[in-house]
Amino acid sequence: MSEITRYSLTEIKTLLEKKSLTSEEIVSAYQTAYENDNNADIPLNGYIEFFKDARTRASAEDIKRKNNTHGRLSGLPIAVKDNILITGKKATCGSKILEGFSAPYTATVIRRLEKEGAVFLGRTNMDEFAMGSSCEYSQYGPTRNPVNREYVPGGSSGGSAAVVGAFQAPAALGSDTGGSVRLPASFCGLYGLKPGYGTLSRYGLVAYGSSLDQIGIVAHNPADIALLLSVCAGIDSKDSTSRDFSYSDMFPLTPGNLKGLKVALPVQLNGEGNSDSVRKTAAGFIDWLKQQGADVSEISIPNLSYTVAIYYIIAPAEASSNLARYDGIEYGLRNDNGNLLDMYINTRSEGFGSEVKRRIFIGNYVLSSGYYDAYYKKAQAVRSLLTHEFDNIFTDYDIVLSPTSPTPPFKLGEKLDDPVTMYLQDICTIYANLVGIPAISIPAGMSNDNLPIGMQLAGRQGNENLLLSIAQSWKNRGGAA
């Protein structure tokens, strides 16, 4: 493996500024890493497509730097999840129903990164329409964990985490609707940030659950995440839910001073439901926080007990509405062997995978007449109570701490036939999406089987800088990388 691919994004930035390397050399090294792996006996299957024009774009950035007309991210390579749009590039969301579809416009986040000179390496594999926790629900086949290829990388942004973990990209964009950036980061031994709702524009992100979706970032280093966030955050006229947060001064990232930091430890997420290795890792991380002067207190957040139930009402309800547009009329797959109704049925039956169909059925059910009040309306009411609980918590505490997942990575195929067990992998992460607050997964240790384990920090809206600075403090003390 080329030494070049081992550099972090911020290290690459420094090397380019010193003219020690060219962007074309860097992109070429990542392309070679991808091609070598793709020809291996057990490929990672992290990329769906490595962009053919990546080296050309890198070369153009090399010229801009020579002419001193470059941006802040000039020549920095980034991988992109297959549900984030780039004009002219395919975007299929890992689904047969969008097979061959090319994006007619560019996502705001991509446009902001591109304006500053970022080079996009390729699109990464994902659970179909971001519905999954293992990256096994994709028409392109499952992605494997770069640490141990018998295991899943987590989902739904499993491809993004896998290519970063396998040193086929220094950083990647993903999306997070219930843990889909943080869980893969945890399973692959990386840092993964889900910003607060509205911090990054959702314009150009293919919708799953519109009140829950958020673009996130996976990298080896918190400073890399801060660098990208400093460029792409902020209000967007194309997204009415975007927030006027400016993070232009976030990079360079300063390690946080943890003395006096007030940390809440919810008993609902730190109990017997977690594996022994996860509890051991959590105890070690808590000890480190205390050694740094943080004040860690156990608290109870009663409505956390209902988060899985309310999430799997609200998210499928929004998904059933958002995915109604895939009918064979405007774009994507079209099976028109029959009348109009048959075309709808045949196209959607053929185009959607089993997990997507399951969630559409659930969503239609909870929104149907006679069940709307009993399920959807009640779930939204509990969501409001949960939000109120967290508003109160953040008057007394700076962050909320839990494991990212109750278990280390599991084997490929282990949970495919048990959707409820699969859904429970998100038990620690989904509250952040329901409440709309930022959360980060930090690589905190390894299991007895030498598999990564992550810890999650969540903070109040607009407090991504605090989460990243704490993560950088952990990184600097020689924690899991």
The residue among 438, 468, 108, 457 whose CA lies nearest residue 252 is 468
Q: Among positive and negative, which fits the CA dihedral 190, 121, 24, 27?
A: positive
Burial 70-106 (b: 16+ CB within 10 A, else e): bbbbbbbbbbbbbbbbbeebbbbbbbbbbeebebeeb
Total Cβ atoms within 10 A of residue 234: 19
* DSSP H helical ranges for 41-181: 54-66, 108-115, 158-165
Chain centroid to Cα 405, Å, comes to 14
Instruction: Please give the Cα distance from 342 to 284 (Å, whole number).
Output: 58
Residues in a beta bridge with 79:
172
Residue 81 bears catalytic tag: yes
Residue 180 bears catalytic tag: yes
Number of H helices, E strands in the chain: 15, 11
The residue among 182, 138, 107 whose CA lies nearest residue 45 is 138
Q: Which of 133, 138, 175, 180 is an active site residue? A: 180
Q: Which of 95, 133, 156, 320 is an active site residue? A: 156
* DSSP H helical ranges for 292-404: 307-322, 340-351, 354-367, 378-396
**Rg over CA atoms, the chain:** 21
Q: Among positive and negative, which fits the CA dihedral 471, 474, 476, 481?
A: negative
- At 167, list the tokens: 């040193």
Instruction: Please give the Cα distance from 166 to 195 (Å, whole number).
Output: 24
Burial 136-168 (b: 16+ CB within 10 A, else e): bbbbbebbbbbbebebbbbbbbbbbbbbbbbbb
DSSP at 321: H
Q: Which of 13, 81, 89, 475 is an active site residue? A: 81
Residues taking part in catalysis: 81, 156, 180
